[in-house]
Amino acid sequence: MKQYDYLIVGSGLFGATVANKLHASGKKVLVIDKRANIAGNIYTEEIEGIQVHKYGAHIFHTDYKNVWEYVNSFVEFNRFTNSPIARINGEIYNMPFNMNTFSKLWSDVVTPDDAKKHIDEEKKELHGKKPENLEEQAISLVGRTIYEKLIKGYTEKQWHRSCTELPSFIIKRLPVRFTYDNNYFNDKYQGIPIGGYTKLVEQMLEGIEVRLNTNYFDNRDEFNSIANKIVYTGMIDEYFGYKLGRLEYRSLKFDTKIYDTENFQGNAVVNYTGHEEEYTRVIEHKHFDDTNKSEKTVVTYEYPSDWNPEMEAYYVINDDRNNMLAEEYRKLAAKESNVIFGGRLAEYKYYDMDDVIKAAFDCVENLENK
């Protein structure tokens, strides 16, 4: 008999959810992570009494009641609602695109019909054509003026490609509303764990053996020999020794500063949508928690970056080459009888946190029904 029922490679949200559920049903589980900390990309760390999101700002939002109840069973969530501000040439606009944005941009806009008239007029340049790329999709949703002020620069910085070469679905993530509502998300539930995401994952992993600074590939044979099954949440191409080629990503560089002021920008998230600045977002972490009374503030400048294997892989690139390569790797993965591949790196998929948890629930259900 092997020492563990399951080895979970990765203590991010996918690995932590699977580990928590399997442990709760009596399985013997070992979690390993190559990083020095748990929680993967949702890791938060306290600096100057403020929870700092070390791998990019994370706002939990979901429509799944069971997922919301699950995360709330470990820690309490606050009532944070994401309402980013977009900044260009010293001007400020509300995001996502809504009546506050439209009325600031066009001085004659008061009602939803006024805004629709402007957008319909600007959309005429498409001559009713079905949008085939991000630029056309954006113009069809909000017109050229907003596209050029609030979308084009941000998107080109983020993806390092022209908007005419990017798929339209990227921009469809953002709501367009004809109401005065600045909530970035449409989901029913939203908030940030009080005390930070690391605390959430700590609670999920309570009672489970966790080994940090432990890379699966450093002792692969030994790890394979100690558990009946493996749940792998690292990069899918790395698992197969990159034998079909390397998958590509976009990365980010974070420049975090402590300022001796109580309130630097008045909002948690400010998007810089032009090319004047190289960064896309400036995050002021204390505003994720409206009870924070720190006299200082911690601010992170987020610079999009090309990716190389020494960097963190943040965003998958959904172009033809990478989509096809990922599919080939998924076929190989399906043939591995004792290994389950899950999460954003192992599935090569952009996943929000709630979708990762939902996918982990499904994964455990499948394992338990076998």
Alpha carbons within 13 A on the beta-carbon side of 209: 10
Distance CA 352, CA 77 (A): 17
Active site residue 46: no
Distance CA 77, CA 301 (A): 25
Among positions 174, 194, 244, 339, the unique one binding ligand UDP when judged by CB under 6 A: 174
Q: What is the DSSP string of 120-174?
A: HHHHGGGTTPPP-SHHHHHHHHH-HHHIIIIIHHHHHHHHSS-GGGS-THHHHTS
Active site residue 154: no
Q: Which residues pair with 211 in a beta bridge?
A: 32
Q: Choose the one of ligand UDP, ligand FAD, none that binds residue 244, judging by a C-beta under 5 to 8 angstroms depending on kind.
A: none
Q: For residue 155, which of 140, 141, 138 has the smallest C-alpha distance? A: 138
- Smallest distance, ligand FAD to C-beta of residue 311, A: 12
Does residue 343 belong to the site contacting ligand FAD (CB under 6 A)?
A: yes
Residues from 6 through 65 that contact ligand FAD (CB under 6 A): 9-15, 32-35, 40-42, 56, 58-60
Does residue 158 belong to the site contacting ligand UDP (CB under 6 A)?
A: yes
Q: Which of 48, 187, 312, 352 is catalytic?
A: 352
CB 216 within 8 A of CB 223: yes
Q: For residue 243, what is the DSSP state?
A: T
Q: For residue 44, which of 233, 191, 199 has the smallest C-alpha distance? A: 199
Q: Which of 132, 173, 218, 246 is catalytic?
A: 173
Distance CA 100, CA 84 (A): 12
Q: Choose the one of ligand UDP, ligand FAD, none that binds residue 95, judging by a C-beta under 5 to 8 angstroms depending on kind.
A: ligand UDP
Q: Which of 301, 303, 315, 350 is catalytic?
A: 350
**Binding map of ligand FAD across residues 177-216, x = CB under 6 A, - = no contact:** --------------------------------------xx
> Which residues contribute to the site for ligand FAD (CB under 6 A)?
9-15, 32-35, 40-42, 56, 58-60, 215-217, 233-234, 252, 314, 343-345, 351-354, 356
Catalytic residues: 173, 177, 250, 281, 302, 350, 352
> Which residues contribute to the site for ligand UDP (CB under 6 A)?
86, 95, 150-151, 154-155, 158, 170-171, 173-174, 271, 273
